[in-house]
């Protein structure tokens, strides 16, 4: 005999799920002990494993209710329908995947004009940074993360010659 917790563990589901399956009629009401505890047997283990197997296929609880206790033909039809649904989902997901790959290949996507050098400088000044403090900020950025510093400057759409100058001064601490 199994308790609620032991049966749930045996079948790899939560205790709450087992009690829910009982409440909606997927699992039959269990026998009760003298102390009114639920008691489950091997037939309950087999049924719960069957429910879990159908859940693993992605069937809804309603579909599982239709399949359990019916002829094998009904289960076959429901599983066949689920397989067609999965095939359609895969086709849709592959189309999404291809669309994302195409978008990622556009260089303009990564270089969207969101902020410019001028806007960034005005934000820094509005925060109270002086020119000298901004130079120190660049120097520290260059020292601690040179590649990210380069990418940040490119993000601000600064021309490459100016980026070279900024990074050179940053390395010198100017």
| Mean pLDDT value of segment 39-58 | 94
On average, the pLDDT of the chain sits at 86
How would you label 44-79 residue by residue, b for 16+ Cβ within 10 Å and e otherwise?
beebbebbeebbeeebeeebbbebbeeeeeebeebe
Q: Count CB-CB contacts under 10 A for residue 1.
A: 14
> Mind giving me the DSSP string for 110-170?
HT--S--HHHHHHHHHHTT--HHHHHHHHHHHHHH-HHHHHHHHHHTT--HHHHHHHHHHH
- CA dist 69 and 119 (Å) reads 68
Q: Which CATH architecture has domain 4-58?
A: Orthogonal Bundle (1.10)
Q: 26-30, 129-133, 154-158: which range is least confident on average? A: 129-133
Q: What is the pTM of this model?
A: 0.55
For the chain, give every domain's residue range.
4-58, 117-172
> Mind giving me the DSSP string for 56-100?
HTT--HHHHHHHTTS-HHHHHHHHHHHHHHHHHHHHHHHHHHHHH
Question: Residue 28: is its pLDDT beyond 60?
Answer: yes
| Mean pLDDT value of segment 13-40 | 93
pLDDT category at 22 given cuts 50, 70, 90 is very high
pLDDT digits (tens, 9 = 90+) for 89-141: 998 888 878 877 776 676 555 555 567 888 888 887 887 778 888 888 888 88
> Which residue from 138, 99, 100 is spatially nearest to 120, judged by alpha carbons?
138
pLDDT of residue 138: 83
Structure tokens belonging to residue 45: 């283990």
Identify which has the larger pLDDT, 142 or 13.
13
Question: Residue 46: is its pLDDT beyond 90?
Answer: yes
- CA dist 69 and 74 (Å) reads 10
**What is the percentage of the chain residues whose pLDDT exceeds 90?**
44
pLDDT digits (tens, 9 = 90+) for 76-85: 888 999 999 9
| Mean pLDDT value of segment 48-61 | 93
pLDDT of residue 111: 54
Contact 156, 116 (CB under 8 A): yes
pLDDT of residue 107: 58
pLDDT of residue 116: 83
């Amino acid at each position: 005999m199994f308790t609620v917790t032991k049966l749930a563990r045996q079948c790899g589901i939560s205790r709450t799920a087992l009690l829910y399956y009982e409440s909606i009629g997927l699992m039959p009401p269990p026998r009760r002990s003298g102390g009114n505890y639920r008691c489950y047997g091997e037939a309950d283990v087999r049924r719960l494993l069957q429910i879990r197997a159908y859940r693993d296929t992605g069937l809804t609880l309603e579909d599982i209710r239709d399949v359990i206790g019916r002829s094998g033909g009904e289960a076959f039809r429901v599983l066949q329908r689920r397989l067609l649904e999965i095939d359609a989902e895969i086709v849709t997901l592959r189309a999404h995947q291809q669309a994302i790959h195409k978008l990622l290949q556009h260089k303009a996507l990564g270089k969207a004009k969101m902020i410019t050098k001028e806007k960034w400088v005005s934000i820094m000044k509005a925060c109270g940074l002086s020119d000298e403090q901004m130079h120190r900020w660049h120097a520290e950025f260059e020292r601690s993360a040179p590649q990210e510093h380069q990418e940040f400057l490119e993000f601000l759409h600064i021309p490459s010659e100016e980026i070279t100058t900024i990074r050179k001064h940053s390395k010198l601490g100017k």
